[in-house]
Amino acid sequence: MPNANVVRAAGVVLLREGEGGREFLLVHRPVRADWSLPKGKLNAGEHVVVAAVRECDEETGYTAVLGAPLPSQSYSVMSRPKVVNYWCATVGAEVGFAPDDEVDEVRWIPVGDAARHLTYGNDVQLVSEAAALPPTVPLIVLRHTQALKRSDFSGKVDAERPLTGRGRSQSKELIPLLDAYGIQEVHASSARRCEETVRRFAKSAGVPVQQEPDLTEESHATTSGATARRAAELALTQAPIVLCSHRPVLPTIFDALAEELGIDAADPRWTRAWDPKLPPGGFVVIHRAFADDGSASAVGIERHTLSGE
């Protein structure tokens, strides 16, 4: 569990293509008389991913679609440690800026002019790192949420085992998390518990749940090669995608994605995130950069659990 003494915050480097090249958005805070990046503290019980999108919306009037994670910033505020997680982001929608006491002005600035406009050197570095990243497309590997135990299931076909009440609540919690990455395709093992995990998000996004028989436990136990081949195919899907499967199947999926996307699990950049041992509702986001020939490579990887897990 996170240290209760640590102040958690989240923010974005919001980028767009302007007339003269790439631009980023900065905000003016009248109380501090500074120019900085959109960010803010997490609400009680709020997931850091949701906070990043919410803060950008509240401060700037733009809905952010999260891309690759950026280095977090750590410093002290009134003798308490503070950690701010950042993401590179693009504009999902413009809902309209409304100045208030917290932020009274926003500006789009060429990335090359960051040092002239931003108050803090750490923000300048974040803009530089975000601008250096290629465009990416997320692939999310999701373990289904909490399901009824096998020992408590009276049915004859395990694939029909449903989610528990807690699992259904977790599936609702996933909606803003998947939405934060702009997911447009939903793929799930054809087992009921996987389909139920993503059904609510798919409905909110207005997309179908595409069933994946090769990602079921039964198929994996019979022929793991088919599971690996299907995962490799999905790795090259050039759309923001989530695929939902089962704990025993995840190691095979991870191995296939690592081979297809050039991920070295021993690389210090990926070690902490690249682990198939996910709790129910846990997920890993792979930010893929695509080449002209359709091949892809991982630019960033992040790992998340649901709040309270």
Per-residue pLDDT tens digits for 280-298: 999 999 999 999 999 999 9
CA angle 200, 203, 206 (to 5 degrees): 150
Average pLDDT, whole number, for the chain? 96
- The predicted structure's pLDDT at residue 10: 98
User: What share of the chain has pLDDT > 70, as a percent?
Assistant: 98
Parallel, antiparallel or unpaired: strands 283-290 and 296-304: antiparallel
Residue range 120-130: mean pLDDT, rounded: 97
> Parallel, antiparallel, or unpaired: how do β-strands 21-29 and 62-77 relate?
unpaired
Give me the count of residues in the chain.
309
pLDDT for 77: 81
**pTM: predicted TM-score of the whole model, two decimal places:** 0.96
What is the token pair recorded at 16?
A: 């767009």
- For residue 250, the tally of other CB atoms under 10 A from its CB is 22
pLDDT at 269: 87
Mean pLDDT of 170-178: 98
pLDDT at 1 over 50: no
Amino acid 243: pLDDT: 98
Burial of 76 (0-12, 13-18, 19+ CB in 10 A): exposed
Question: 241 has which bridge partners?
Answer: 139, 185
Does residue 2 register a pLDDT over 60?
Answer: no
| pLDDT 10s digits, 217-267 | 999 999 999 999 999 999 999 999 999 999 999 999 999 999 999 999 899
pLDDT (0 to 100) of residue 79: 82
Burial of 108-143, coded b for 16+ CB within 10 Å and e otherwise, reads ebbbeebeebbeeebbbbbbeebbebeebbbbbbbb
**Segment 143-159, tens digit of pLDDT:** 999 999 999 999 999 99
The answer on pLDDT for 123 being more than 60 is yes
